[in-house]
Amino acid sequence: MQKPFMRIPYTGPLPPPIIIPRNANTPTGAIHALSNFFTAPKPAHLPNGHGTVLLTGAGISVASGLADYRGTAGTYTLNKTYRPIYYNEFLSSHEARKRYWARSFLGWTNLNKARPNSAHHAVRDLGELGFVSSVITQNVDSFHPIAHPDLPTLELHGYLRSLVCVNCGHGYPRREFQQKLSKLNPAWASFLAEMLEVGALDTENPDERREKGLKTNPDGDVDLPDAPYSTFRYPACPVCLEDPPLLADGTRTLVEIDNDGAWSSTSTAGVLKPAVIMFGESIPSDVKSAAEKAIDDAGRILVIGSSLATYSAWRLVKRAKERGMPIGVLNLGGARGEESFFQDIGAGNDGSLGVRCSENADKILPQLIENLRSMHRGWEGG
C-alpha cells in the first residue's frame, strides 16, 4: 500500500551537518563544490536525467524577512509554544478558525509586502544558465513564482495568495479577503494599524519585531499570547451562501451569516481555508505525482534551505537517492536523515557526486552564479 503524502512536522533531533567534500566548509569551498555539482556530466544510468531539480524550504525565505521554523539546532526558535494548526482542527472547530484567521489577518500585511531575495533571483539565474530542470518548493510565500515565472515550479504545500472553499472548491484572492476581515473586525483592524504605525511590521529583524510585540511565522501568521481570538469574525464562501451545496447523502447544507456577513456557527458549509496544505492534510494526488515526476526527470537534486523536516519533502530526496541521483544539501544546520544520502560517496569527490554545505543561500548562490558565468566564459574563450 502506498503511504499518504502528508504534511507532518518532524520535531525529533537533527544530526549535525557533515560537510562534503571536506573543503566545502568555507564559502569559497562551498561555491567550488556546488559549481562542480552543477557542471558534472549527466549520470550515465539516468537516460532522461537532464539538469538539477531544486527542492527549497523555509531557509531560503529568511533573508526576505520571514522566520525559519527551526534554528541550526533543529528546535523551534520563534516561540517554544508555537504549534501550527492541523487540518482536522481547522475543519471541525469554529474557534480554531477564528484564532487562525485572527493571526493570519495580522501576519498578511507583512507577508504581502515581503519580496523574493537574492537566493530566489539566483535560482532564476541558474535556470537561465540551463542548470535547472524544475523547482519544488515547500514554501507557501509565492516568492519562487514571483522571482522566476518562466521556470517550472511546483508549490508542494500550496500557497497563501489564495483561499479555497472546503465545501464547493471555489477559489478567492487572499488580498480581497483581507479587506473583508478588516470590515468584520474593526477593533483588530485598529490594532493592526497601530502595529504598522509603531513599525512592528516594518522591521525585518526578528529581534526588533519581538521587542515590539510581534512574531511572524513562516506560514504568514502572527502569534499574540492572550489575544481575544474568540471575538474574531470571518466571512462565508459567497458561492455556498448563494446556493448551499448538497452533502454526499443528498441532504442540503446550511450556510448562515450574521447581519454584517460573518459566518455563523449554525452553518454546516461555506468554510474557506487558505490554499495551503495544512499540517495533517494530504497532498493532492496530482501534486504528489508532479513532484515525483520532477524528481524522475532530473539527473541530480539540490536541497536549499530545508532541514527536510516534513515527510513529504524528505521522501522526495529519498526517491532521488533510490534512483542513484547525486544529492546536494545547502542548509544551515542538520537535515533529517542526511547521513544516509552521502554514506556511499568515496574519497576524491570534488562535489560532482554529492555536496553538503552549511551556508546562507542568499550569500552563496549569487557568488555561485558569478563563478558559473566565469567558468562558462572560460569554456567559450578556450
- Positions in the binding site for Zn ion (CB under 5 A): 165, 167-168, 237, 239-240
The residue (of 169 and 228) whose beta carbon lies closer to Zn ion is 169
The residue (of 268 and 371) whose beta carbon lies closer to Zn ion is 268
168 is in an annotated binding site: yes
Angle made by CA atoms 362, 204, 206, in degrees to the nearest 5: 100
75 by DSSP, 3-state: which?
A: coil
HSE-CB for 281 with a 13 A CA cutoff: 22
Q: Cα–Cα distance between 59 and 157 in angstroms, integer? A: 15
The residue (of 167 and 307) whose beta carbon lies closer to Zn ion is 167
181, 102 contact by CB (below 8 A): no
CB within 8 A of 208, min separation 6: which ones?
Answer: none
Q: In what order do the strands lie in the sheet with 272-276?
A: 171-173, 158-165, 272-276
CB of 170 vs Zn ion, minimal distance in Å:
5
Whether 376 sits among the annotated catalytic residues: the reply is no
The residue (of 227 and 241) whose beta carbon lies closer to Zn ion is 241
CB of 246 vs Zn ion, minimal distance in Å:
12
357 is in an annotated binding site: no
CB of 1 vs Zn ion, minimal distance in Å:
32
CB of 287 vs Zn ion, minimal distance in Å:
21
Which of 32, 120, 148, 157 is flagged as catalytic?
A: 157
The residue (of 228 and 284) whose beta carbon lies closer to Zn ion is 284
87 by DSSP, 3-state: which?
A: helix
> Where does residue 136 fall: left (phi above 0), alpha (psi -120 to 50 degrees), or beta otherwise?
beta
CB of 275 vs Zn ion, minimal distance in Å:
13
Q: Cα–Cα distance between 287 and 62 in angstroms, integer? A: 25
Angle made by CA atoms 40, 43, 49, in degrees to the nearest 5: 100
- What are the CA-CA distances from residue 313 to residues 155, 298, 356 (Å)? 11, 16, 17
Q: Cα–Cα distance between 113 and 115 in angstroms, integer? A: 7
Amino acid at 301: I
> Where does residue 270 fall: left (phi above 0), alpha (psi -120 to 50 degrees), or beta otherwise?
left
Q: What is the DSSP string of 320-346?
A: HHHTT--EEEE-SS--TTHHHHHTT--
Cβ–Cβ contacts within 10 Å for residue 56, how many?
28
The residue (of 6 and 239) whose beta carbon lies closer to Zn ion is 239
CB of 188 vs Zn ion, minimal distance in Å:
24
69, 121 contact by CB (below 8 A): no
Q: Cα–Cα distance between 47 and 82 in angstroms, integer? A: 45
Angle made by CA atoms 355, 357, 360, in degrees to the nearest 5: 135
The residue (of 95 and 243) whose beta carbon lies closer to Zn ion is 243
CB of 271 vs Zn ion, minimal distance in Å:
8
Binding residue numbers for Zn(2+) = 165, 168, 237, 240
Catalytic residue set = 157
